Amino acid sequence: MKLVVVAGTPGSGKTSVLLHTIKALIRRENKPAVVKVDCLWTDDDKRFGRLGVPIRVGLAKDMCPDHFTIYNTEPMLKWAEEEGADVLLNETAGLCLRCAPYPDSCLAVCVIDVTTGPNTPLKVGPLLTTADVVVMTKGDIVSQAEREVFRERVLEVNPDSMVIEANGLTGKGSIELAELIENSVETREGMELRYSPPLAICTLCSGEKRVERKYHMGVLRHLDGFMEYKGE
Amino acid sequence: MNSTIKLTIVGGIDKTGIEEAVKIVEVNPGDILGIVGPTGSGKSTLIDDIEQLAQGDTPTQRRILINDTEPEMGLRVDPRRKLIAQLSQNMHFLADMTVSEFIQMHARSRGKDPELMHRVIELANRLTGEPIHEDEQLTVLSGGQSRSLMTADIAVISDSPIVLIDEIENAGIKKQEALSLLSGEGKIVVVVTHDPVLALMASRRIVIRNGGMCDIITTSAEEKNMCNRVSEVDDWLMDLREIIRRGDLVEGVA
Ligand SMILES: Nc1nc2c(ncn2[C@@H]2O[C@H](COP(=O)(O)OP(=O)(O)OP(=O)(O)O)[C@@H](O)[C@H]2O)c(=O)[nH]1
Ligand SMILES: Nc1ncnc2c1ncn2[C@@H]1O[C@H](COP(=O)(O)OP(=O)(O)OP(=O)(O)O)[C@@H](O)[C@H]1O
Ligand SMILES: [Mg+2]
Ligand SMILES: [Mg+2]
Ligand SMILES: [Zn+2]
Ligand SMILES: [Zn+2]
State whether A141 and B102 contact (CB < 8 Å).
Answer: no
Domain boundaries, chain A: 2-182, 199-232
B106: left (phi over 0), alpha (psi -120 to 50) or beta: alpha
Interface of A with B in 134-193 (CB under 8 A): 140-146, 148-149, 151-153, 163-165, 170-172, 174-176
Contacts with B12 (C-beta within 8 Å, 6 or more apart), sequence order: B19, B20, B56, B60, B61, B62, B63
Taking the Cβ of residue B210 and every Cβ of chain A, the question of whether any pair is shorter than 8 Å is answered with: no
Q: SS3 for A188?
A: coil
Residue A61, pLDDT score: 86
Task: Convert A105-124 to b/e letters by CB count within 10 Å (16 or more is b).
Answer: bbbbbbbbbbbbbbebbeeb
Q: Ligand 1 centroid to A89 CA: how many Å?
A: 17
B222 pLDDT higher than 60: yes
> pLDDT by residue for chain A (232 residues), tens digit each?
999 999 998 899 999 999 999 999 999 999 999 999 998 999 999 999 999 999 999 999 878 888 899 999 999 999 999 999 999 999 998 777 778 889 999 999 999 999 999 999 998 889 999 999 999 999 989 989 999 999 999 999 999 999 999 999 989 899 899 999 999 999 999 999 998 866 556 777 767 889 998 888 887 888 988 888 887 7
State whether B77 and A149 contact (CB < 8 Å).
Answer: no
**What is the C-alpha to C-alpha distance for residues B174 and B172, in angstroms, rounded to an integer?**
7
Q: Distance from B147 to chain A by nearest Cα, in Å?
A: 10
Residue B1, pLDDT score: 47
B218 pLDDT higher than 60: yes
Q: Are A47 and A19 in contact (CB under 8 A)?
A: yes
Residue A198, pLDDT score: 61
If one compares B82 and A57, the residue with the highest pLDDT of the two is A57
Closest-lying ligand to the alpha carbon of A45? 3
Proportion of chain B above pLDDT 90, given as a percent: 64
The Cα-based distances of B226 to A53, A79, A210, B166, B223 in angstroms read 60, 71, 75, 23, 5
For residue B9, give the nearest of B49, B41, B38, B52 by alpha carbon.
Answer: B49
B77 pLDDT higher than 80: no
- Closest partner residue to B96 (CB to CB) among A117, A164, A176 is A117
Taking the Cβ of residue B97 and every Cβ of chain A, the question of whether any pair is shorter than 8 Å is answered with: yes
Q: What is the mean pLDDT of chain B?
A: 90
Q: What is the pLDDT of residues B238-254, one digit of tens each?
A: 888 888 988 999 887 66
Query: In a 10 Å sphere around its CB, with 0-12 CB exposed, 13-18 middle and 19+ buried, how is residue A97 labelled?
Result: middle
Compute the C-alpha angle B172/B177/B178, nearest 5°.
Answer: 65
- Closest partner residue to B109 (CB to CB) among A119, A140, A152 is A152
Residue to substitute in B9, B19, B44, B209 for testing ligand 2 pocket (most ligand atoms within 8 angstroms of CB): B44
pTM of the model: 0.88
B3 pLDDT higher than 70: no
For domain A2-182, give the CATH number.
Answer: 3.40.50.300
State whether A119 and B97 contact (CB < 8 Å).
Answer: yes
**What is the C-alpha to C-alpha distance for residues A77 and A1, in angstroms, rounded to an integer?**
8
B181 pLDDT higher than 50: yes
Q: Ligand 5 centroid to A94 CA: how many Å?
A: 9
Tally Cβ neighbours within 10 Å of residue B116.
19
Identify the DSSP state of B215: E
Cα dihedral B42, B44, B46, B48 sign: negative
Q: What is the ipTM of this complex?
A: 0.86
Q: Choose the weakest-confidence range: B24-28, B52-56, B134-138.
A: B52-56
State whether B95 and A118 contact (CB < 8 Å).
Answer: yes
Alpha carbon nearest to ligand 1 atom 30, residue: A138
